[in-house]
Amino acid sequence: MGSYGMLNVLRGLLSDRFTLFALIGLGLFVVGLPGQPQADRIQVTDSDLAMLEGRYQLQTGQRPEAAALDALVDFHVREEILVREARRLGLDRGDVILRRRLAQKMELLIRDGLAEPDLSDAALNAYYQAHAERYVQPARVGFRHIYLGPDGRMSDAAIAALQRALETQPDPEAWRSMGQAFMLARQYAPRPEDALAELFGAGFAAELIRDDGRSGWWGPVRSSYGWHLVERLVFEPARRLQRHEVGDRLVEDVRAASLDAAETEAYRALAAGYVVSVERRDE
């Protein structure tokens, strides 16, 4: 068989996923045999650290602190290990790609080989109980308001008169014609604080979401548009969602957490075949 035919055979083998996993397993077995050469060495040099710091500073505008630099080094080492393993399998042959793309290829290959996570009822319930803080419906408030205008458009005396009129007005819908015209709605169904902040600003949202027992019309409360009299119609305190209310989100969370943990273990198995040294620069 000529070299061209042999190359085609090799390409065919490497394109088969089963063959790739067999090669990975064989490689790990060979590395573990007694008398084999020592593990590959990865040396993070002074120039590597300078490069990592430079990229960080370019993206954030500041030098990385010690913890951030450690994280950058860990990522660099992880990337280097995955790149080397990808090259052992020939994933870079005939393909002009960046080293990060090689690392991503190896990560995808590892993930494809992971077993399907346990999504049994018992596993889902255990995750739900262990991560209760993730499944909380935030406090919500429904309200109506009367727009008083921007700063200086209504005096304190006029506001007080308006509040008295609201208390004595026999028509329950009279509030709709009071105050000044407003570009948005005058009444809102229950919404969480972040949704209110998007519409009216953070200060307005924080004032309405406070569970302080206030009732009736009160204010004025400032928003992004000016000042308002408000009345809370509904207040729903934060509560933990029941498992049936979480729905498919629980399944997706369990699947993601399980796959992430399995991928981490697979990476650690690869990393065990490497010795990493980092040259620390003198400050």
- Predicted pLDDT at 131: 92
Pairing of strands 40-44, 187-192: unpaired
79 falls within a domain? yes
115 and 192 together in one domain: no
Residue 274 CB contacts under 8 Å (≥ 6 apart), including other chains:
39, 40, 41, 42, 77, 81, 84
Burial state string for 25-51 with b = 16 or more CB within 10 A and e = fewer than 16? eeeeeebeeeeeeeeeebebeeebbee
106 and 143 together in one domain: no
Q: Inform me whether the pLDDT recorded for 14 exceeds 70.
A: no
With contact defined as beta carbons under 8 Å apart, do 207 and 226 qualify?
Answer: no
101 and 156 together in one domain: no
pLDDT digits (tens, 9 = 90+) for 117-145: 888 899 999 999 999 889 999 999 999 99
129 falls within a domain? no
56 falls within a domain? yes
Q: pLDDT-based confidence at 72, cuts 50/70/90? A: very high
For a pLDDT cut of 70, what percent of the chain falls above it? Answer: 83
Q: pLDDT-based confidence at 203, cuts 50/70/90? A: very high
Side-chain half-sphere exposure of 271, counting CA atoms within 13 A: 15
Residue 189 CB contacts under 8 Å (≥ 6 apart), including other chains:
142, 234
- Predicted pLDDT at 138: 93
152 and 230 together in one domain: yes
**What are 100's two structure tokens?**
């990060």
> Range with the lowest mean pLDDT among 19-33, 109-123, 185-199?
19-33
* CATH code at position 205: 3.10.50.40
173 and 223 together in one domain: yes
127 falls within a domain? no
Number of domains in the chain: 2
8 falls within a domain? no
**Whole-structure pTM value:** 0.52
232 and 261 together in one domain: no
Q: Where in the sequence is the domain holding 266, given as residue range(s)?
A: 38-119+256-278
Residue 4 CB contacts under 8 Å (≥ 6 apart), including other chains:
none
Q: Inform me whether the pLDDT recorded for 185 exceeds 90.
A: yes
- Predicted pLDDT at 3: 40
Q: pLDDT-based confidence at 213, cuts 50/70/90? A: confident
Q: Inform me whether the pLDDT recorded for 30 exceeds 60.
A: no
Mean pLDDT of the chain: 82
- Predicted pLDDT at 97: 59
